[in-house]
Chain A
């Protein structure tokens, strides 16, 4: 067991965690932040993407113990005072989600893309999102949403 202190969605948190606790389990089971989803356990599907010190990471293959002292943003922390983030609004406008399961990871991944590349081409958007699997949308609404958000951020 190790003690970790970190900031999650702007809130300071200290907890004792097992050495082998995954960040996704820590968020979901300990902090009850169930917006972060686990779709594959193998780092392939991207439903579990969160921001760790401003970089998108797959929380299902990140150890909570390694996150001591870090800042994490999950899907629950993206909206500001109840107002959805531009990316969230764009996903709604362009029907970038259906069942909603991949959505949190997809949105977090897309937000990170625009931090790193303010004006991505369609190819750059599609390449970036290659690590996030969506079974419902065929990605068309998602790509349209990211393009739209890029014009507004």
Chain B
């Protein structure tokens, strides 16, 4: 059988999606189903002074209305922060209560106040309009930089400060700066984004009054984790009687990690009324109440010697957590961010502080890249400015400071196992035809366009993550992953993974791994995920972890299948287990022509005895059946890296920026399926370009979200892109047997810096993200254009 790993194989899951047979949560309809519609706060900050739903209760079709009082009475717990950060002063971070339905106060536009459950959606919506909530509106704080000087929006959280985090050695970093020949400083904003998975969130609670079983269908990246949280913290239903199904999920990008108020409330409401309760978000609800991402303000300084060697880095960031602390809200701007500000440079000493602040905006949390795009933006912007300051070319300055030897213990946290940064930079320079850039710049100038080039040489820590490490720094769970391989009696294979595919292509790529390991045809392998009743507990998909952690669990489970198979084969072939080789799906007795296929062995495992012609007694001590489970906990993160080179043309008259050339060379270690990996990179880059040029979540001063539709929030579209060129280098990861590193977030991590470095190179003045035509035009006209005369 040809090698499946590394082959460009078309996806097994595509046909159903292409023919309209995908089954997303909103496509599911249950008998006797009811519909939920949420009453949400129209104010960014207010006290609820009166709540009257008597009229609404009498409206046609209304079955019940649940409020903050109801959930308190029924002891439904609030939403949680899953990762505890400790401040510089040794004190734990501060988390405000986060009720699933507000009782006394609301803290952002879209905050959940009540839910109307009715026979039809239209009836639920109409009745919701009759729910009379009186608010005493209070002044809201919206801007990240104003949070700490504003009155406390949550009782007991002074200065709206959740945590004041420090990583690194302030003293030693100060010394490095005092000895520095040159210091480069930047002030940057990492704009707030809204993830915008194309499938709006949806949830259906289905309580079975006979069996006392509760099923929740929900668009989630991690159904087991949802069940754990909803059982242990929200007290919705006991875990063993609770099933969560995340069927086809239309994109996640981090926004479907959290247990949301809607999940808890429809599950709870279904129990209360004894009928299924369905809720599907309208897009405006997604904009308002999905977790947002990014929203940092940062000051950074880089110390250098006269010949351009980096000697220290200082970073001070304020991260806007929004109104509450979501599951990964605290770790995203701290441990997923601060260690990464070092980039791929050999920096001897550094420190990074992060103030996590509350404001009256939608809560932020992980969004594709989660902390790492923000970190990469800091280091790649400042390194670019440093190279300019040194008068060195961007490639030369980077190479001078790259980490060269591996493993490399960085001065903050990570021990990078493998990499070759010169290799991907060199390859990218070649592929991007860097040497002829100035010619292209001149050509563009002839057309009246300002052309710029930008580099982003990034790394990331993904494959989250070693449980021992993450739990020692505040994680509320270990981040191992599970797999179960069920070899069926007829020879086909069901593989259960605790990860979840919502576009990543696990049904194909994981089948490629199993196919190679066990010598089974890919069509006879079914990858099963997304249902807590089917496979073992798993941690889900985020942080580019599915392959590095979940894929490795699959490999380990395959190894156990092979080990058992050898014992059975030894008995059947009259040899010793240690004399059995397994290759290409066959168990072969050494130095003989005696062999059994894995299908025959599986059959024997299920028919352990002699029956007519079938002679397959199992060896003593070997149990029947061929099912193996593995839980894999990695020893380290994985560290993909790469080089992105972006070229833009800016129209001086209009300020419009056009992406004209984009080149990527990534080192993802071993690649399972290049077709799928390319797709991840193209999509990731597009989201990064979106952040740099188009996307921005905007609140006005009163806290109204003014970018709550696709007419106001600019999504990147097909006509915004040129063809993106991709190539690879490969240094296999040493922390997992596949040598894989993860590729899901890389594009989004690297792209914003590459694009902005190009824009700033083109216009010659600083511009913040997103570099909209208006902003660029204003920047050009305020300071004049350096390049205009070129």
Interface residues of A (CB under 8 A from B): 28-29, 32-42, 44-45, 47, 74-76, 78-79, 84, 88, 91-93, 95, 97-104, 107, 122-123, 125-127, 129-130, 132-143
Residues of A contacting B717 with CB < 8 Å? 129-130, 133, 139
Known: A40-B283, A133-B715, A139-B686. A101 touches B19 (CB 8 A): no
A-B contact pairs, 12 of them (CB 8 A): A34-B20, A34-B27, A37-B199, A38-B26, A41-B283, A45-B710, A95-B678, A135-B196, A135-B715, A138-B683, A138-B721, A139-B686
- Give Cα A125–Cα B723 distance, bound, in whole angstroms: 13
* A2 vs chain B, min Cβ distance (A): 17
- Chain A residues with CB under 8 A of B284: 41
How far, in angstroms, from A138 to B282 measured CA to CA in the complex? 24
- Of the candidates B10, B250, B679, B715, the one whose C-beta lies within 8 Å of that of A137 is B679
Central interface residue in B503, B683, B715, by most chain A CB within 10 Å: B683
- Complex Cα–Cα for A126 and B686 (A): 14
Nearest-Cβ distance from residue B191 to partner chain A, whole angstroms: 17
Give chain B nearest CB distance to A55 CB in angstroms: 19
Residues in B neighbouring A40, C-beta threshold 8 A: 283, 709-710
Min distance, Cβ B120 to any Cβ of chain A, angstroms: 10
Q: Are B503 and A92 in contact (CB under 8 A)?
A: no
What's the dominant secondary structure at chain A's contact region? loop
Contacts of A103 in B (CB 8 A): 17-18, 22
Please measure, in the bound complex, the distance between the C-alpha atom of A103 and the C-alpha atom of B423, giving whole angstroms: 37
A9 closest partner in B (C-beta): B20
Chain B interface main SS type: loop
B198 and A101 contacting across the interface, CB-CB below 8 Å: yes
The minimal Cβ–Cβ distance linking B20 to chain A, given in whole angstroms, is 2
Q: Which of B197, B249, B675, B719 has the most CB of A within 10 A?
A: B719
Other A-B pairs, 10, CB within 8 Å; known A39-B200, A76-B20:
A34-B23, A34-B24, A41-B283, A44-B710, A92-B14, A95-B679, A100-B503, A107-B18, A133-B710, A135-B198
Complex-state Cα separation, A129 to B676, whole angstroms: 22
Q: Are the CB atoms of A137 and B683 closer together than 8 Å? A: yes
Measured CB to CB, the closest approach of chain B to A84, in angstroms, equals 6
CB B752 to nearest CB in A, in angstroms, measures 14
Contact flag A143-B10 (CB < 8 Å), given A44-B709, A135-B687, A136-B679: no
Q: How far is the CA of A87 from the CA of B504 in the complex (A)?
A: 21
Task: For residue B538, give the distance in angstroms from its CB to the closest CB of chain A.
Answer: 19
A93 to B710 Cα, complex, angstroms: 30
Residues in A neighbouring B683, C-beta threshold 8 A: 98, 135-138
Name, among B16, B683, B718, the residue most crowded by chain A CB atoms within 10 Å (CB to CB): B718
Query: How far does the alpha carbon of A76 sit from the alpha carbon of B27 in the complex, in Å?
Result: 14
B251 & A99 in contact (Cβ 8 Å cutoff): yes
Any chain A CB within 8 A of the CB of B502?
yes
Across-interface contacts of A33 in B (CB, < 8 A):
20
Q: Are the C-beta atoms of B18 and A140 separated by less than 8 Å?
A: no
A107 surroundings in chain B (CB, below 8 A): 18
Chain A residues with Cβ under 8 A from B19's Cβ? 35, 75-76, 78-79, 84, 88
Q: Is the CB of B249 within 8 A of A132?
A: no
A102: which B residues are within 8 A, CB to CB? 198, 250
Other-chain contact of B17, A97, A123, A127, A133 (Cβ < 8 Å) = A97
A102 to B683, CA, bound (A): 14
Q: A42 contacts which chain B residues (CB < 8 A)?
A: 283, 709-711
**Is B710 in contact with A99, judged by CB distance below 8 angstroms?**
no
Contact between A141 and B682, CB atoms less than 8 A apart = yes
CB-CB under 8 A from B715, the residues of chain A are: 133, 135
Residues 681 to 728 of chain B near chain A (Cβ within 8 Å):
681-687, 709-711, 715-719, 721, 723-724
Shortest Cβ distance from residue B556 to the other chain A in the assembled complex, whole angstroms: 27
For residue B397, CB closer than 8 A to chain A, the reply is no
A45→B718 contact, CB < 8 A: no
Contact with B20, one of A41, A95, A104, A139 (Cβ below 8 angstroms): A104
Residues of B within 8 A of A92 (CB): 10-11, 14-15, 18
- Minimum C-beta distance from A108 to chain B (A): 10
Q: CA of A136 to CA of B686 in the docked complex: distance in angstroms?
A: 8
Given contacts A39-B283, A136-B251, contact A99 B198 (CB under 8 A): yes
Q: How far is the CA of A145 from the CA of B335 in the complex (A)?
A: 40
**Contact A93-B711, Cβ < 8 Å, known A35-B22, A137-B683, A138-B682:** no
Bound-state CA distance A29–B502 (Å) is 24
CA distance A61 to B724 in the complex (A): 34
Are B199 and A39 interface neighbours, CB within 8 A?
A: yes
Max chain A Cβ within 10 angstroms of own Cβ: one of B16, B17, B284, B675: B17
Q: Does B481 contact A (CB under 8 A)?
A: no
Nearest chain B CB to A144 CB, angstrom units? 9
| Complex interface: chain A residues within 8 A of B503 (CB) | 98-100, 136
A130 touches B718 (CB 8 A): yes
Give the docked Cα–Cα distance between A83 and B679 (Å): 25
Interface 1/0 per residue, B175-213 and A, CB below 8 Å: 000000000000000000000111110000000000000
B261 to chain A, nearest CB (A): 21
Complex-state Cα separation, A93 to B679, whole angstroms? 12
Q: Taking A99-B198, A136-B503 as contacts, is the C-beta distance between A129 and B718 under 8 angstroms?
A: yes
Given A39-B283, A139-B718, check contact A88 B18 (CB 8 Å): yes
Contact B719 A95 (CB under 8 A): no
3 closest pairs, A vs B, by CB? Answer: A35-B20, A100-B17, A101-B250
Interfacial chain A residues near B16, Cβ < 8 Å? 100
Q: Which residue of the partner chain A has the closest CB to B280?
A: A38
- Neighbouring A residues of B29 by C-beta, 8 Å: 29, 32
A137 contacts B251, C-beta separation under 8 Å: no
Q: In the complex the two chains form, what is the Cα distance from A80 to B283 in whole Å?
A: 33
Complexed CA–CA distance, A129 and B200 (Å): 21
CB distance from A95 to the nearest CB of B (A): 5
**B279-338 interface with A by 8 A CB criterion:** 282-284
Determine the chain B residues whose CB is within 8 A of the CB of A41 once the complex forms: 282-284
CA–CA, A123 and B16, complex, Å: 29
B253 near A: Cβ within 8 Å? yes
With the chains together, A89 CA to B10 CA distance in Å?
10
Q: Complex: how many Å from CA A122 to CA B200?
A: 30
Q: Which residues of the other chain, B, contact A79 by a CB distance below 8 angstroms?
A: 19
Cα–Cα, bound, A125→B716 (Å): 15
Most buried by B among A38, A39, A88, A140: A140
Q: Is B248 an interface residue (CB 8 A)?
A: yes
Known: A133-B717, A141-B682. A100 touches B248 (CB 8 A): yes
Q: Bound state CA distance, A83 and B32, in angstroms?
A: 36
Q: Are A137 and B682 in contact (CB under 8 A)?
A: yes
Docked pose: A10 CA to B249 CA in angstroms: 30
Q: Which residues of B contact A34 (CB under 8 A)?
A: 20, 23-24, 26-27
Q: Which residues of the other chain, B, contact A29 by a CB distance below 8 angstroms?
A: 29
Q: How far is the CA of A44 from the CA of B687 in the complex (A)?
A: 18
Knowing A44-B710, A126-B721, say if A99 contacts B502 (CB, 8 Å): yes
A129 to B717, CA, bound (A): 8
**Cα distance A132–B719 when bound, in Å?**
11
B446 in the interface (beta carbon within 8 A):
no
B197 A91 Cβ-Cβ under 8 A: no
Asked if B435 is at the interface of the complex by the 8 Å CB criterion, the answer is no
Among A76, A78, A101, A140, point to the contact of B721 (Cβ < 8 A): A140
Cα(A36)–Cα(B283), bound, Å: 16
Whether B718 pairs with A132 at a CB distance below 8 angstroms is: yes
Residues of B contacting A137 in the complex (Cβ-Cβ under 8 angstroms) = 679, 682-683, 686
In the complex, what residue of chain B is closest to A47 when comparing beta carbons?
B198
Contacts of B687 in A (CB 8 A): 135, 138
How far apart are A78's CB and chain B's nearest CB, in angstroms? 7
B residues within 8 A CB of A136? 198, 251, 503, 679, 683
A-side contacts of B13, CB under 8 Å? 100
Chain A residue nearest to B200 (CB atoms) is A39
Return B542 CB to nearest CB of chain A, in Å: 15
User: Does B21 lie at the interface of the complex (its beta carbon under 8 Å from any beta carbon of A)?
Assistant: yes
Q: Is the CB of A100 within 8 A of B197?
A: no
> Which of B22, B198, B283, B717 has most chain A Cβ within 10 Å?
B198
In the assembled complex, which residues on chain B have CB atoms less than 8 Å from the CB atom of A127?
718-719
